[in-house]
């Protein structure tokens, strides 16, 4: 197939969103396997100055739809713009972030085009697919967890042109940026009507997250086994000492110990830090789905049968407060 | 002014609570052994509709596409205050992906005819795609607002709905005229319990095609062509499914002692995992 790999470039109004860098990095990998260009579509107002960065990560060409009414995402006009670009340039693959924007817009785009859309992918491959009737070569294999994280499914859309997918943030690897790499930006005209702009934005409330889990190299995470204020204090102390962030299981968040910003797992944030210390976390599949790719996992739990021990590199059976106090002491006394 | 509201629900296996009975010898989950529930955020969707009906009056129709067992999920919605419930069911629908499902459901909306608002849960806990709601909206060419964390105000005169939408960066306060489709998250409200009187009056009710509060529609009554339903109508195909197994790995056991933990910290420093 000849079409490009097209990536939806998400922005936050003034800057490119970090998911866009991840999508471009992965898109570049796929497009080089397929030997086709990597293109991007951006929809917004006054974005041109910040689009060049997408070239550093591997984007060859960006189709930019500019309109003063497009400064902030709303469903219908953004979907219309992306549909127009896809119809005009006929990519073979289109990738979106599985963000609230991507998950709102991509299904509308797929529906209008009658295309296959796979949600929340965690990996892609290029491969072959055989049915009774024929063999499809070099198509997109879309890998995603389903059923609450209990199965990993490989999905294909062999007859669908393009194949579309959304990808979770924090899952794809960033390429090292090449700041000399140029990208061609072309302005694209899309016909909008007043009826495309039915959603009125009354107010935008930016809420800074309490913690940036995705960029943390070390995460110390609290579960129900760390369910008291002294234990949480120790979790925070160790996280601070190691220069890491505090995470939490869903159970810990639901019980009010830590806010949802700290939640890691299927319905929280997905992380892949160098070190993940699971304190009093049992290791349900939904939690594992959010941290199993961590380079090193230390599990602390009083229950030797806890499922977390089956994915940990280091297991310590013991009381969280005791173990954390020992760790803090040992770290202070090192060298 | 009365509102015609359509609510979509899905009966799903309770994936959040894996019971011992559902665990198989090889460490994987037997889906068919899990109890079924109404998808959690769909109950919030129904509650949003009921709150609007409480204030403005109107009619709520709840629809689901599913196997015959989904009748119990629809009855649960009826007991909570839905006026009519519709089971959309046919062997021909089996294997439908989100595109085929949204086509079937939008056809059901067209059969109902009149509506002001369509409400769905934000995503189903089995498929986890969050796609069907927006795809129905696109097929009906109506506006959509997803991930609604709070329904704030319905402006009667202007027929506009004001909502608070949750995003990664915070919140958006948005407003849209009707008709529109809204997807609602599980923080949006507290779903009310079923009404005992309605349970007693209707628990023996049967589903049928004829004028009744418990409808049953299939491929024929919706006049759906074969090629838009089931596997044929689904561009996405499952190539492979691998069950996630809790495999035993070589875990390095660290003793809970000063020495044990000191050597762990030392090892992590040596390997530059910690600084």
pLDDT score at B127? 78
Cα(B22)–Cα(B35) distance, integer angstroms: 9
With an 8 Å Cβ cutoff, are A310 and B29 in contact?
A: no
pLDDT (mean) for B71-85: 95
List the single residue in B with minimal CA-CA distance to A308.
Answer: B246
Whether B23 shows a pLDDT value over 80: the answer reads no
Q: What is the pLDDT of residues B133-174, one digit of tens each?
A: 999 999 999 999 999 999 999 999 999 999 999 998 899 999
Cα(B256)–Cα(A317) distance, integer angstroms: 7
pLDDT score at A167? 94
The two tokens of residue A75 are: 């469903």
pLDDT (mean) for A124-136: 94
CA distances (Å), origin B197, targets A253, B50, B212 = 37, 17, 19
Q: Which residues of B touch A316 (CB under 8 A)?
A: 253-256, 260-261, 264
For residue B243, give the nearest of A151, A205, A296 by CB distance. Answer: A151
With an 8 Å Cβ cutoff, are A154 and B138 in contact?
A: no
pLDDT score at A210? 82
Confidence of residue B126 (pLDDT cuts 50, 70, 90): confident
* B235 touches A at CB < 8 Å: yes
HEC profile for B27-79?
Answer: CCECHHHCCEEECHHHHHHHHHHHHHHHHHCEEEEEEEECCHHHHHHHHHHHH
- Return the percentage of chain A with pLDDT > 90, whole number: 76
Whether A220 shows a pLDDT value over 60: the answer reads yes
The answer to whether A172 touches A122, Cβ cutoff 8 Å, is no
* B32 touches A at CB < 8 Å: no
Q: Work out the angle at residue A161's Cα, subtended by the Cα atoms of residues A159 and A167, and round it to the nearest 5 degrees.
A: 105
Confidence of residue B24 (pLDDT cuts 50, 70, 90): low
| Residue in the structure block whose two tokens are 């939408």 | B165
The answer to whether A63 touches A89, Cβ cutoff 8 Å, is yes
The answer to whether A273 touches A295, Cβ cutoff 8 Å, is yes
A5-9, A217-221, A254-258 — which one is most confidently predicted on average? Answer: A5-9
Q: Which residues of A touch B234 (CB under 8 A)?
A: 116
Choose among B113, B109, B108: nearest CA to B88: B108
Q: Work out the angle at residue A142's Cα, subtended by the Cα atoms of residues B94 and B142, and round it to the nearest 5 degrees.
A: 60
Tell me phi and psi for residue A26, to 5 degrees: -70, -40
Whether B192 shows a pLDDT value over 90: the answer reads yes
List the single residue in B with minimal CA-CA distance to A242.
Answer: B274
Cα(A290)–Cα(A247) distance, integer angstroms: 11
A199, with CB counted inside 10 A (0-12, 13-18, 19+), is buried
pLDDT score at B168? 87
Q: Give B214's strand partners.
A: B85
Q: What is the pLDDT of residues B199-210, one digit of tens each?
A: 999 888 888 865
B261, with CB counted inside 10 A (0-12, 13-18, 19+), is buried
Q: What is the pLDDT of residues A79-113, one digit of tens each?
A: 999 999 999 999 999 999 999 999 999 999 999 99
pLDDT score at A48? 93
pLDDT score at A168? 85
ipTM of the complex: 0.88
Q: Which residues of A touch B236 (CB under 8 A)?
A: 116-118, 155-157, 160
Whether B249 shows a pLDDT value over 80: the answer reads no
Cα(A280)–Cα(A224) distance, integer angstroms: 6
CA distances (Å), origin A315, targets A267, A311, A324, B59, B251 = 25, 9, 13, 57, 6
């Amino acid at each position: 197939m000849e079409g490009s790999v097209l990536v939806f470039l998400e922005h936050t109004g003034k800057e490119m969103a970090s998911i866009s860098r991840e999508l471009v990095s992965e898109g570049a990998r796929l497009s080089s396997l397929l030997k086709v260009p990597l293109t991007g579509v951006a929809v917004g107002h006054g974005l041109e100055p910040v689009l060049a960065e997408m070239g550093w990560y591997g984007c060859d060409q960006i189709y930019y739809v500019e309109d003063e009414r497009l400064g902030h995402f709303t469903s219908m006009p953004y979907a219309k713009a992306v549909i127009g670009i896809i119809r005009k340039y006929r990519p073979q693959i289109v990738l979106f972030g599985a963000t609230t924007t991507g998950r709102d817009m991509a299904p509308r785009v797929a529906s209008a085009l009658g295309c296959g859309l796979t949600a929340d992918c965690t990996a892609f491959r290029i491969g072959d697919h055989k049915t009774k009737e024929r063999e499809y070569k070099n198509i997109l294999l879309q890998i995603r967890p389903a059923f609450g994280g209990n199965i990993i499914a490989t999905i294909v859309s062999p007859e669908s042109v393009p194949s579309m997918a959304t990808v979770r943030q924090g899952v794809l690897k960033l390429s090292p940026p090449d700041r000399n790499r140029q990208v061609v930006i072309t302005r694209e005209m899309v016909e909008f009507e007043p009826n495309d702009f039915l959603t009125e934005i009354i107010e935008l409330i930016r809420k800074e997250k309490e913690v940036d889990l995705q960029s943390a190299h070390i995460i110390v995470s609290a579960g129900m086994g760390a369910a008291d204020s002294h234990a949480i204090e120790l979790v925070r102390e160790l996280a601070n000492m190691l220069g890491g962030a505090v995470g939490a299981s869903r159970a810990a968040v639901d019980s009010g110990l830590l806010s949802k910003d700290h939640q890691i797992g299927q319905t929280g944030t997905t992380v892949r830090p160098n070190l993940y210390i699971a304190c009093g976390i049992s290791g349900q599949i939904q939690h594992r789905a959010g941290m199993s790719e961590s380079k090193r996992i230390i599990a602390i739990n009083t229950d030797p049968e806890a499922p977390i021990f089956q994915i940990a590199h280091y297991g310590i059976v013991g009381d969280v407060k005791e173990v954390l106090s020992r760790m803090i002491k040992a770290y202070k006394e090192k060298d | 002014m009365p509102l015609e509201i359509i609510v979509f629900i899905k009966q799903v296996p309770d994936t959040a609570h894996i019971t011992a009975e559902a665990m198989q010898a090889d460490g994987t989950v037997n889906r068919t052994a899990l109890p079924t529930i109404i998808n959690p955020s769909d109950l919030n969707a129904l509650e949003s509709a009921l709150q609007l009906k409480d204030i403005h009056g109107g009619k709520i129709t709840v629809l689901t596409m599913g196997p015959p067992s989904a009748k119990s999920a629809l009855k649960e919605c009826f007991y909570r205050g839905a006026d009519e419930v519709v089971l959309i069911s046919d062997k021909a629908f089996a294997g439908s992906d989100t595109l085929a499902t949204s086509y079937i459901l939008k056809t059901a909306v067209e059969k109902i005819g009149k509506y002001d608002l369509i409400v769905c849960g934000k995503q189903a806990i089995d498929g986890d795609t969050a796609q069907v709601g927006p795809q129905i909206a696109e097929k009906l060419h109506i506006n959509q607002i997803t991930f609604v964390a709070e329904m704030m105000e319905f402006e009667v005169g202007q027929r506009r709905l004001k909502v608070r939408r949750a995003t990664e960066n915070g919140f958006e306060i948005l407003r849209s005229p009707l008709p529109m489709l809204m997807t609602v998250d599980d923080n949006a409200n507290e779903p009310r319990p079923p009404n005992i009187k309605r349970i007693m009056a209707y628990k023996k009710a049967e589903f049928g095609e004829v004028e009744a509060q418990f409808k049953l529609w299939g491929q024929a009554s919706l006049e759906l062509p074969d090629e838009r339903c089931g596997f044929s109508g689904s561009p996405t195909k499952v190539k492979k499914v691998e069950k996630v197994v809790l495999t035993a790995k070589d875990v390095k056991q660290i003793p809970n002692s000063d020495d044990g933990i000191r050597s762990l910290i030392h090892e992590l420093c040596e390997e530059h995992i910690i600084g």
